[in-house]
Amino acid sequence: MPLTAITYGTFDMFHIGHLRLLERIRGMSDRLIVGVSTDEFNALKGKKAMIAYEERRDIVAALRCVDLVIPEHTWGQKAADIEQYAVGLFAMGGDWAGRFDELKTLCDVAYLERTQGVSSTELRTSLKRVLEKEQDLADMFELLKSLRRGMD
């Protein structure tokens, strides 16, 4: 019988770590379902994605390793999704280790190691630092323009 795996995430600022995780989960199964957190659910979690749900959903759906994308509306929907889609493997990144062990009564649960050196949180933090220094950047560009004019 083919093995269906499911995973969930916001997948904001999609990066190589997301891709590698999804590819690894797909490599462990015959079919991969991905629950992408809706903007409303992220708000309940106290998060705000930089990229709208519809775009994040479309990015994930475009991947060859993903067979189906569903919206993630609540924490509690996972058990119902596992039953509805006959899931045999629930997989998440290692940063979630132990958080979904109660699902082991429904299917196998795996926590996979994250890709080192990249995370959406780190990307957001770096971007925030750059944006906080926006005036400094504007001043530097003005300086560069004046230097260029002096070279013409």
Q: How far apart are CA 68 and CA 100, in angstroms?
A: 21
Active-site residue (options: 47, 48, 128, 145): 47
128 belongs to the catalytic site = no
CA distance 7 to 27: 13
Assess whether 133 carries a catalytic annotation.
no
Exposure letters 125-135 (e unless 16+ CB within 10 A, then b): eeeeeeeeeee
Provide the 8-state DSSP code for 49: -
CA distance 6 to 33: 5
**Contacts for 14 with CB less than 8 Å, ≥ 6 apart:** 51, 56, 59, 60
Q: State the catalytic residue, choosing from 45, 48, 128, 133.
A: 45
User: Active-site positions?
Assistant: 45, 47
